[in-house]
Amino acid sequence: MNDIIKLNNVSKQYKLFSIEPLSCTFKQGYITGLIGPNGAGKTTLIKMIMGITRPGTGEITIFGQSQSLQEAEIKQQIGFVSDECHYYEHLSIQSMKNIIAPFYKKWDDNAFSRLLDRFELSPKMKIRSLSKGMKMKLGLAFALSHHADLLIMDEPTAGLDPVFRRELLDLLAEIMLDERKSIVFSTHITTDLDRIADYIAFLHHGRLVFNESKEQIQERYVLVKGPLSLLEAPSVNAVFIGVRESLVGFEGLTDRGHEIAAIVGTSAQLSRPTLEDIMYFTARGGKSHAAAIT
Amino acid sequence: MKHIVYIYYIYIKQLSMVMQMNIILSNASNDPIYVQITQQIRSLILNGTLSSGEPLPSIRQLAKDLQISVITTKRAYEELEKEGLIDSVVGKGSFVTGINADFVREQRMKRLEQQMLAVIKEGKALRLSLVEIQQHIQLLYEEGDMDT
């Protein structure tokens, strides 16, 4: 399995926020979802991959080429959808296309028209008049019209209605029929990823919590629900990453899925957590009490 | 002309495949998605709906159709390969292997055993004795006879 993106000790320091040195790889032929709460560093990471901001330390390799040395070549093969609309608002879609198309050697006008049709956009529309969701669709149309091998998207499903979100997932699955293509996208709507993502990279406070296949994650993490008395034993308490207690019992997340059944015994109920559960308990950490207790 | 015939053949082949292969996934189920796929394809093979040599949809196509990840379908196919129910040929896809009747029976017996174990477990949870469970099964068995 080839690595499409490789980060080696990449870090970035801002005054109030930093990405701690992180190393990870994203695989070719798969969809990787980048998740994390707001402010976890998802956009910063994507910006570094795209060369929009330079990493403080470390090296980024894309398609086996150095990101800093061969940026122009690399970008020919990347389709990028930003979370902001960076197109000229006063132009029509057609004129904007005339500006963007010449940058790409493999620009495909037919593909672009087909996508506009599919997204119900007309080339005559002024960009200013587009809604947030329509702008996102336009961004996608631009990103998918030059036969890119790697699609990178920052929060593509934000601002989209559920109907189009499903359609987008279909579109992504269509792209993935070709095993040479890869997709990396960030989101905090994790239900999208619960469905189609192959790998999940979880960022929290500028650190990488994990970067694994969804299957592995689902095997390792277990959601435990049980009576409060169970938590009194320190050996039980220690296995939880995060616990939410209430008058009627507790709910906790553990990443020791293989041993948990033996530890908690039969008085607790075990279930598979969603990505949202994993994100919630990891982000809050420690113990938290439901409001009802106070 | 040859082309048209060929395309038509593929079309028929696909059409028949779509009709034959129903896979229904449930989010409510406790079984992981890949287990659900494995179980359903296995029973399609064991009950003869999918016959020997028949092609299965590609891993990526199935992932797309079910709107699930490629790794999940890959894992399901790997399980089926391990059981010897399907064969995967690089560049050609996956096919139902020609399995013999004894093997099929053995597989089904294994599955039946698992289901029986589940029944026993549930029975114990309800504090039924062995005799009570046996009686219950006998009753249902005889009712089934009357239906047919």
Q: Quick: pLDDT tens for A182-208.
A: 999 998 777 877 788 999 999 998 999
Poorest-confidence range of A210-219, A229-238, A285-294, B49-58?
A: A285-294
pLDDT value of position B18: 47
- Confidence class of residue A39 from pLDDT cuts 50, 70 and 90? confident
ipTM value > 0.95:
no
Beta bridge mates, A231: none
Average pLDDT on B14-38 reads 75
User: What is the per-residue DSSP string for A169-211?
Assistant: HHHHHHHTTSTT-EEEEE-S-HHHHHHH-SEEEEEETTEEEEE
Cβ pair A31:B72 closer than 8 A: no
Mean pLDDT of chain A: 88
pLDDT value of position A292: 38
A29 chain-B contacts, CB cut-off 8 A: 70
Closest chain B residue to A200, measured at CA: B69
Segment A108-156, tens digit of pLDDT: 999 999 999 999 999 999 999 998 888 989 999 999 999 999 999 998 8
Cβ pair B32:A218 closer than 8 A: yes
Cβ pair A176:B32 closer than 8 A: no
Q: Using an 8 Å Cβ cutoff, are A186 and A34 in contact?
A: yes
Q: Is B75 on the interface with A (CB under 8 A)?
A: yes
pLDDT value of position A78: 95
Q: Is A173 on the interface with B (CB under 8 A)?
A: yes
pLDDT value of position B142: 86
B63 chain-A contacts, CB cut-off 8 A: 173, 176, 196
Counting residues of chain A whose pLDDT is more than 70, the rounded percentage is 97
- Confidence class of residue B11 from pLDDT cuts 50, 70 and 90? low
Q: What number of H helices and E strands is found in chain B?
A: 6, 2
Cβ pair B61:A177 closer than 8 A: yes
Cβ pair A173:B64 closer than 8 A: yes
Q: Is A175 on the interface with B (CB under 8 A)?
A: no
pTM of the model: 0.79
Q: Is A169 on the interface with B (CB under 8 A)?
A: yes
CATH of A3-213, one of 1.20.1090.10, 3.40.50.300, 3.20.20.70, 3.40.50.620: 3.40.50.300
Segment A245-257, tens digit of pLDDT: 888 888 999 988 7
User: Does residue B5 have a pLDDT over 60?
Assistant: no
B91: burial class by Cβ within 10 Å (0-12, 13-18, 19+)?
Answer: exposed
pLDDT value of position A215: 86
C-alpha–C-alpha distance, residues A130 and A122, integer Å = 11
**A29 vs B101, residue with greater confidence:** A29
Fold (topology level) of A221-293: Alpha-Beta Plaits (3.30.70)
**B27 vs B135, residue with greater confidence:** B135
User: Does residue A278 have a pLDDT over 50?
Assistant: yes
Going from N- to C-terminal start, the domains of chain B cover 2-96, 101-147
A174 chain-B contacts, CB cut-off 8 A: 64
C-alpha–C-alpha distance, residues A104 and A98, integer Å = 11
Mean pLDDT of chain B: 80
DSSP annotation of B56: P
CATH of B2-96, one of 1.20.1050.10, 1.10.10.10, 3.90.190.20, 3.90.1170.50: 1.10.10.10
Å from B68 to nearest chain A CA? Answer: 4
Cβ pair B69:A170 closer than 8 A: no
Å from B58 to nearest chain A CA? Answer: 9
